[in-house]
Structure 1
């Protein structure tokens, strides 16, 4: 599906009714470059929920986001951001710069925002040689730096030259690289073997992915996902977690790798394309469990907080639930979590909703959002004036900018702003950056 192609069809169809000009540079009815008291923000849409996906972006103002009479569309409008699979985007703190990881393309890029759908490509850096793959993941750490990360695995046998040699374990090698966002150049980079658990290694349990790091007290805390390799079949089997684990390295040196573990919860902690761990105003980190039951753990002073235990979100919702993407923190212990009702379908189904959580008091409220949501690829929401702004629309349908008020404990504790159109049956909004 090509948005530009749809735009051309629209132009040709309209010629029988009236004479007008139509091009890829046409702008919406209101001027996106009008004056604003705020930084610019960016709406992003993905054209397909599976496989290769075109990604488009357009800039806007806070005033437009709040305007219920404003309609945003990507039908024939928006700058395409190159991506072999859905682009992984971040913005600078002032909104004037957009950063993209071309996942599958093996490069990172930097764009200056001009206005509307106009973005200038400033720098592009190939990172395949450093990372050893075209498919690393990345996370913006602050306004100056980002982290690239990847894990490769190798099954180890007593004698690699004999097909029937006994299986020993699966080796996981972590590659990390710090990126200077000003120059888009790679600074520190390192590779090391993941500090594996010897008790589990012979059973085929191993780390296969890390993601969504957060900095606390001079260290990076990486969420971890594991797999089970079945040596009898030579295939990956069903992974059954008996704990949660986090990789910890010094920052920015990327040295002294170790892990912290807790058996108070079970599941992965790496997420998908969304922030997973957030440091609060007191310096503690709250980490979402992103497989298994929806829950949150607390990390304090470099370890899982046993006194806090597990914040069991699922038990408060009345049905089976996963939060397998990530979550958004507003402040003072309040955040919003995209949650999947697994009683109604898997992550490919439109059975998602937004839950307001209070990590201090361990409360959860399902927000009354009257549209079907598919949020598996949702990447980002923005905190503006102490409220959380999310671009939410049904897959291939319409929606709104939702403005969540963290001071309200009501399921209706939000307002709606501008209308969002997707324009095609397989498109979805993936963030407001």
Structure 2
């Protein structure tokens, strides 16, 4: 069912006042202008820590390109249901939105009806099958999405001395036409010899009939009996057959000193090129671009962003445009942690293994940024300071200079609000 906030509710939301009403006195008719392109969706979140709200509205390419146009969620926008920040995707034609209600254990499908109007078509509870109300998911094509979750179990001696950890991987295929579950499978993965274990997987990409999942690692602190982040000695991915989800195995690399996590955080971490190769980023401090050919890491490919940019780099993922060029939100980890406003947009050239920091004029907080759209060979991103005004940035991959972009529509936010992307 479509949810639309009242005028009072939306104003209080933007001002950061306690939400007290979810009814709308009068729904205004909004007629979207004609466009020569598929519909796009611009999405805003509010609440940078803990539980947050997520809102969407339609936007045309012409509006995005218009530097005099202003996009606001003040008194406008559809709330995408989610206990925490929604995880969404759209169909290739932009007419359908898919959402994982993170914390609610449900996936749903919405028809886009123009403006701020979305109609829920189907929904499915996945909590029983995947074993949690907080799974991750990834749309891999217009037919299928993958749900994934890791159950971590620690074993102890009778006198509470830590012994070992087992990670149980849980996977499920979602049919996006019917929003029903197909293959569901679980299997254990044992810890490494050095004590590291998989605590999270995410962002699979399909290569030669196999899914490649990025992996996040932790290690138990035996003094406190608590798990902590762990970069280990290499980077790794989980590989399974698709659609059977069988024949699981781990692939690894330490090319150029690569190590750490490859699972990302809401942003895609791996993309397949026209020649079939997959490029994946390691997302821990000490960021590297990794190459996977025929489901195996290419040990000869070394591209470490720290060396190129001259500071410790960290990312949550990246976006591929074409011809070996992509753009990544990159944290200057020497200047602050991921929660700080020390993020830049960096153009990366996979072929020359060079990187250019784009001259956007300021740093941003991009910890939760989810999606960017490629339109006619250029990358469109919606970027604002947390709680401040920003722009739609249109990056031209053929321009390798720091100023290789134009600015489009103005973006308004509100208290503790930020844009998640253009879908």
Provide runs of 4+ in structure 1 moved above 3 Å.
Answer: 2-10, 22-27
Counterpart CA distance in 1 for 2:12 and 2:199 is: 45
Residue 196 of structure 1 deviates from its aligned partner by 4.2
Q: Which of these residues, 313, 325, 349, is aligned with residue 305 of structure 2?
A: 313
Equivalent position of 2:287 in the other structure: 294
Distance in 1 between the 2:228 and 2:91 partners? 41
Structure 2 CA distance, aligned partners of 1:356 and 1:24? 45
Distance 1:347 1:368 in 2: 20
Question: Residues 254 and 299 of structure 2 are in contact (CA less than 8 Å); yes or no, is this contact kept in structure 1?
Answer: no
After the TM superposition, which residues 98-247 of structure 1 pair with which residues of structure 2 at under 5 Å, given as runs? 98-157=97-156, 162-164=158-160, 167-194=162-189, 196-197=191-192, 199-200=193-194, 203=195, 205-247=196-238
Deviation at residue 290 of structure 1 after TM alignment: 0.5
CA-based RMSD: 1.7
How far the C-alpha of 1:306 sits from its partner, in A, is 1.3
Describe the SS at the equivalent of 1:75.
Answer: coil
Q: Is the CA contact (8 Å cut-off) linking 1:153 and 1:208 kept in structure 2?
A: yes
For residue 249 of structure 1, report the CA deviation from its aligned partner. Answer: 0.2
The aligned residue for residue 90 of structure 1 is 89
- Counterpart CA distance in 2 for 1:150 and 1:415 is 39
Q: 8 Å contact 2:267–2:317 — kept in the other structure?
A: yes
For structure 2, the 5+ residue unaligned runs are 14-23
C-alpha separation between the residues in 1 aligned to 2:96 and 2:306?
Answer: 38
Alpha-carbon distance between aligned partners in 2 of 1:148 and 1:92, rounded to the nearest angstrom: 17
Q: How does 1:26-425 map to 2 (within 5 A)?
A: 26=28, 33-157=32-156, 162-164=158-160, 167-194=162-189, 196-197=191-192, 199-200=193-194, 203=195, 205-264=196-255, 265-308=258-301, 310-323=302-315, 325-422=316-413, 424-425=414-415
Deviation at 1:194, TM superposition (A): 1.8
TM-score using structure 1 length: 0.91
- 3-state SS of the aligned residue for 1:5? helix
On the 8 A contact 1:209/1:225 being kept in 2, the answer is yes
How many residues of Structure 1 are paired with residues of Structure 2 in the alignment? Answer: 407
Q: Which residue of the partner structure matches residue 19 of structure 2? A: none
**Counterpart contact for 1:248–1:258, Cα < 8 Å:** yes
Shift of residue 240, structure 1, vs aligned partner: 3.9
Partners of 1:334 and 1:356 within 8 A in 2? yes
Deviations 1:90-117 (A, max 9, x none): 0000000000000001101100000100
TM-score by length of 2: 0.93
CA contact (8 A) 1:25 1:77 kept: no
CA gap 1:263/1:401 in 2 versus in 1, 3 angstroms: same
Residue number in structure 2 paired with 1:432: 422
Structure 1 residue 32, shift from structure 2 partner: 5.4
Q: Secondary structure at the match of 1:64?
A: helix
The answer (yes or no) to whether the contact 1:267–1:289 under 8 Å persists in 2 is yes
- The secondary structure found in structure 1 opposite 2:118 is strand
